[in-house]
Amino acid sequence: MSERPQAPRGTFDVLPDQAALRLAVERCARGALEAAGYQRIETPVFEDTDVFRRTVGESTDIVQKEMYTFEDAGGRSLTLRPEVTAPIVRAYIEHGMHKLPQPVKLWYLGPCFRYERAQAGRYRQFWQLGAEALGSDDPAVDAESILLLATILDELGVRGTRLRIASLGAPASRARYRELLQGHLRAHEDRLAAEVRARIDLNPLRAFDSDHPGTREVMASAPLLLDHLDAADAEHFAQVRELLDAAELPYEIDPTLVRGLDYYTRTVFELTSDALGAQSGVGGGGRYDGLAEQLGGAHVPGMGWAAGIERILLAAEERPVPAPICDLYVAVTGNVPGAGGPAAVAAFALAAEARRAGVPTQIELAGRSLKGQLKQAARLGARYVAIVADEGIELKDMQSAQQESVDSAGAVVAHVLRGRHA
């Protein structure tokens, strides 16, 4: 026998129970985001590879080793999206959204792809929920965005969350700071991990991320970007903090907060949960005032975040999923699968009529005996069962167990509707 195919490593099937939980997350997020003026956007699952190369950053893990990049039959280099911010900015430019009232506030939900070491909470296909506000550099945009994610996670019952924030400053102060940090790293080069040493030129900030003991010692005395912001950036960060304080949202300032994407400027933040193990990040984001220019557009300030649906569900309290409603089960007597006959046709027509009237209806599809059908109806929690025979229709009320003859399909539907509203 040949081997049976399985879902690829790092991917998973979303079975109905899980799908119901994910839908609950989507409903909650959508409610909060749309109430705050965010509108849904959907972009393609793949983009020109350049969209990510030019924005996420050549030196990042994502671009260096995590992208699913392929050439299509026309010889174009395409990439399954590892994140959705750059595609949304691409869409903003492409559709001239700068002509709309600013900021344009967009939210999304969809699959992302990263070639990573698969483990609990870390997959190769995962879903991101995200929100982006484009066209304003007002600190209130930053505070509103952060507050929205914190509120959504709270409403979803995500346990043990911790919010950390920082500012990376504008590119100019970042560049000056970078040189300072490189100087510090070079001065202590012999104590650094090899991979940190190799990245001094390319990405010195990542040194703050290292678990290597020697590197950690060196980083303890490293200069901090937060102490080297220029006046405008420091003022912007102070205003964001003031607004978060006004909204009574607790946070910690983490001067070593490093994000895995290069496009961030000014505010960055991350929400973690102790309910997760090593993969503690539930969501995060920040401001990206230079991203649109990196994609060949005009200067468009932006701020947003993304959160992983699977990690939200791992960190949230289990909530019971309500069973789907079944108001009417249509059974057939003398049932033989596929045999057809007038009763089976009448049953099908009755179910169609009931559904047109808005009654949640299920029909016998597996050729069960009448006893088996009643059992199945009970399992589904059906309120009524219509038993269709060649001679006519009987309607059974599953609560009172009373059964009566009904003279037409229309009468069954009217009866069920009355019962539902009673």
| Interface residue list for Mg ion (CB under 5 A) | 260
Sequence-distant (≥ 6) Cβ neighbours of residue 57 within 8 angstroms: 63, 203, 261, 262, 263
Q: How far is the CB of 114 from Mg ion (least distance, A)?
A: 7
How far is the C-alpha of 269 from the C-alpha of 275, rounded, in Å? 19
Sequence-distant (≥ 6) Cβ neighbours of residue 194 within 8 angstroms: none
Q: Which of 108, 62, 18 is CA-nearest to residue 312?
A: 18
Q: How far is the CB of 130 from ligand ATP (least distance, A)?
A: 8
Instruction: Say if residues 107 and 152 touch (Cβ distance below 8 Å).
Output: no
Two structure tokens written together for 45: 């699952």
SS3 content of the chain, % helix, strand, coil (to 5): 40, 20, 40
* Contacted by 282, from Mg ion, ligand ATP, none: CB < 5 to 8 Å by type: ligand ATP
Nearer to Mg ion (CB atom), residue 122 or residue 176: 122
How far is the C-alpha of 66 from the C-alpha of 46, rounded, in Å? 14
Nearer to ligand ATP (CB atom), residue 135 or residue 284: 284
Q: How far is the CB of 38 from ligand ATP (least distance, A)?
A: 17
Nearer to ligand ATP (CB atom), residue 236 or residue 311: 311
* Contacted by 126, from Mg ion, ligand ATP, none: CB < 5 to 8 Å by type: ligand ATP
Nearer to Mg ion (CB atom), residue 260 or residue 283: 260
126 beta partners:
112
Q: How far is the CB of 128 from ligand ATP (least distance, A)?
A: 5
Q: How far is the CB of 101 from Mg ion (least distance, A)?
A: 34
The region, left, alpha or beta by phi > 0 then psi within -120 to 50, assigned to residue 158 is: beta
How far is the C-alpha of 364 from the C-alpha of 376, rounded, in Å? 9
Q: How far is the CB of 74 from Mg ion (least distance, A)?
A: 31
Nearer to ligand ATP (CB atom), residue 177 or residue 263: 263
How far is the C-alpha of 195 from the C-alpha of 258, rounded, in Å? 16
Q: How far is the CB of 260 from Mg ion (least distance, A)?
A: 5
* Contacted by 284, from ligand ATP, Mg ion, none: CB < 5 to 8 Å by type: ligand ATP
Residue in this structure with the two tokens 């997760």, named with its chain if needed: 276
* Contacted by 83, from ligand ATP, Mg ion, none: CB < 5 to 8 Å by type: ligand ATP
Q: How far is the CB of 281 from ligand ATP (least distance, A)?
A: 4
Nearer to ligand ATP (CB atom), residue 277 or residue 340: 277
Q: How far is the CB of 56 from ligand ATP (least distance, A)?
A: 9
Side-chain-side CA neighbours of residue 163 (13 Å): 25
How far is the C-alpha of 152 from the C-alpha of 126, rounded, in Å? 19
Alpha carbon of residue 322 to chain centroid: 22
Nearer to Mg ion (CB atom), residue 204 or residue 260: 260
Nearer to ligand ATP (CB atom), residue 279 or residue 294: 279
* Residue 317 CB-density burial (10 A; 0-12 exposed, 13-18 middle, 19+ buried): exposed
Residue nearest to Mg ion (CB): 260
Q: How far is CA 64 from CA 108, 115, 265, in A?
A: 25, 10, 21
* Residue 165 CB-density burial (10 A; 0-12 exposed, 13-18 middle, 19+ buried): buried
Residue at 219: amino acid letter: M
Residue nearest to ligand ATP (CB): 308
* Contacted by 122, from ligand ATP, Mg ion, none: CB < 5 to 8 Å by type: ligand ATP
Nearer to Mg ion (CB atom), residue 122 or residue 184: 122
Q: How far is the CB of 278 from ligand ATP (least distance, A)?
A: 8
Task: Provide the 3-class DSSP secondary structure of residue 183.
Answer: helix
Q: Which residues bind ligand ATP (CB under 6 A)?
A: 83, 114, 116, 121-123, 126, 128, 260, 279, 281-284, 306-308, 310-311
Q: How far is CA 200 from CA 117, 174, 177, 204, in A?
A: 25, 15, 13, 5
Nearer to Mg ion (CB atom), residue 92 or residue 126: 126
